[in-house]
Amino acid sequence: MSNTNTYLDQVVRQQERLEADLRSKSSAARAQVQAPAAGGAPPERLRRGESSNAPQPTPNAVEVRVTGFGRWKTVLVPPNAFVVHTRRGKAEPLHLGLGVSFRYNPATDSYLVVPGAMQTILINAYCVCRELQGVLVQAYVQWIIEDFSTAYRRLDFGDAEDPMRLVNLQLKEQAEAAIKDKVSTLGVAEVLSDKQPIIEELTARLRGVAEGSGGADAGLGLRIVTVQIKEAVVSSSRLWENLQKPYRSEQGRIARLAELAAEDAVAERELTGQQQRESSRIASDRELADQRARRAAHEFDRDAAEALRRSQREQEDARALAELQDATNRHALALERQLAAEEAEIGRLRIEREAELTRLKAEAELLLAAARGRAGHEQALLDVERERLRAGIANAQSAENLQAQLIERLPEIVAKLPKPAELRSVTIGGNDGTTVAGLIAELTTVVQALSGRRAEH
């Protein structure tokens, strides 16, 4: 195990970073840049009353702007800074206050500018408690200037880079001494658990120094704003661990008991759940067995009833089948008898039909012969009548009727005539007063000539 107190080292590093953050670096840089242009004399030389025309640097804690030239200069002080302006031959300051600007003659005048903002002092007090154990107490003190007319006479603000450095250092030393005195009367547990006695002791001592104890003692013209204890850490890592062990052991015991109680509760709950599950399983198995038994009995009853029903049905079917076969046999016998009677009747009817057919054929042949004789006689009579009518019609036709028929059929005759291969002209008659009879005669001659021509071909 390492003997290093990690917590203590971390606290110290944090305190160092905080001091670095609170330490102003920008003011010094600005003072060095503005010093040649300001035209003011160094503070030491100004306080001694020395005159010089060379550029004078301005304290870095406060940005003071000096304007003008020669004996006609003006010092412009920020509103949050205290200033005191004195002149040679004058017992009292010409200007004294917060943010007061004034005319300045480098040959006869001197001035001091001090920040008026609240200051913070960080304290690391390495103390020894009543049990002779090292304890680091971290604290901070915040203060401001209450009465500058008293403060600039009793305190040293002469550091050009940081006018408040010496005052902070003096207050820091007094605060560390007060903390160490108080811690030496307390035990380690009292220091770690209750820091209020240390705060009260430190506040009383610092206020007695800074603000005075009343009466003629006006103090340093300062006012303590607040005093706080940040950390109290045991320097010995072994002692620090030993102090933590009882609480850690107690918390471990409580945690272990809580774990055991939780495990017992879980085990009891699991056992109860297991018993409930087992009881549920047994009840479920019993219920399933009862259901299986009821189902088996129901199936047996159903099978027995079905077997009885089938037996009865088979007996009824056998009886019905026997009755049906008996009726079928009787019906078949009746059908056979009826069929034999019908066949006998059919034979008798066939013989009678054949005899009737023979008689009808003979009668038909006789009738046919008679009909043929009558038909021949009637046909001969019809032919004679037709010839007689035709002769009568031919005798009844006149020449005019014949010519009219010929004229009607003339287009048909012409259409059926062959196409002539050569043209022959035939002159029919010589007078213009040809009659119809003559025209028909001429046409007849033409037709005959054409008929003869066709016969030649």
The pLDDT value given to residue 293: 92
The pLDDT value given to residue 456: 57
Residue with tokens 């003979």: 362
Comparing 37-41, 57-61, 197-201, 210-214, the range with the smallest average pLDDT is: 37-41
- pLDDT exceeds 80 at position 64: yes
422 — pLDDT class (breaks 50, 70, 90): low
The pLDDT value given to residue 128: 84
Comparing 20-24, 209-213, 242-246, 391-395, the range with the smallest average pLDDT is: 20-24
- DSSP-assigned beta bridge partners for residue 134: 128
* CA distance linking residue 76 with residue 56, whole number of Å: 15
Residue 404 tokens read as 């009219």
* CA distance linking residue 149 with residue 82, whole number of Å: 10
438 — pLDDT class (breaks 50, 70, 90): low
59 — pLDDT class (breaks 50, 70, 90): very low
Alpha helices in 397-435 (DSSP H): 399-416
Q: How big is the chain by its Cα radius of gyration, in Å?
A: 81
Residue 312 tokens read as 């009865």
Q: Name the residue among 210, 77, 96, 82 with its Cα closest to residue 142.
A: 210
Comparing 256-265, 320-329, 407-416, the range with the smallest average pLDDT is: 407-416
- pLDDT exceeds 50 at position 102: yes
Residue 47 tokens read as 């306080």
425 — pLDDT class (breaks 50, 70, 90): low
Please classify residue 403 by burial: count the beta carbons closer than 10 Å to its beta carbon, then call 0-12 exposed, 13-18 middle and 19+ buried: middle
Amino acid at 216: A
- DSSP-assigned beta bridge partners for residue 98: 82
Q: Provide mean pLDDT across the span 181-203.
A: 84
What's the pLDDT tens digit per position in 130-151?
888 888 888 889 999 888 888 8
Strand pairing category for 134-145 and 222-234: antiparallel
Q: Provide mean pLDDT across the span 242-258.
A: 78
Give yes or no for a contact between 73 and 82, defined as CB atoms under 8 angstroms apart.
no
* CA distance linking residue 380 with residue 387, whole number of Å: 11
What's the pLDDT tens digit per position in 86-100?
999 888 888 888 888
The pLDDT value given to residue 162: 82
Q: How many Cα atoms sit within 13 Å of 16 on the Cβ side?
A: 6
- pLDDT exceeds 60 at position 42: no
The pLDDT value given to residue 25: 45
Comparing 145-154, 287-296, 307-316, the range with the smallest average pLDDT is: 145-154
Q: What is the DSSP letter of 217?
A: B
Q: How far is CA 318 from each of CA 259, 324, 329, 331, rounded to the nearest angstrom?
A: 85, 10, 16, 19
Q: Provide mean pLDDT across the span 154-161.
A: 82
The pLDDT value given to residue 208: 84
Q: Provide mean pLDDT across the span 31-48.
A: 38
Q: Provide mean pLDDT across the span 420-436.
A: 55
Average pLDDT score over the chain: 77
The pLDDT value given to residue 374: 79
Q: Provide mean pLDDT across the span 233-238.
A: 74
What's the pLDDT tens digit per position in 253-274?
888 888 888 999 999 999 998 9
The pLDDT value given to residue 135: 83
The pLDDT value given to residue 40: 38
The length of the chain is 457
The pLDDT value given to residue 360: 87
- pLDDT exceeds 50 at position 58: no
Q: Provide mean pLDDT across the span 228-243.
A: 74
The pLDDT value given to residue 243: 66
Chain centroid offset of residue 54 CA: 76
SS3 at position 162: coil
Greater confidence (296 vs 22) lies with 296
Comparing 32-46, 136-150, 319-333, the range with the smallest average pLDDT is: 32-46
The pLDDT value given to residue 434: 52
* CA distance linking residue 191 with residue 257, whole number of Å: 32
Q: Domain segments of the chain: what residues?
A: 15-117
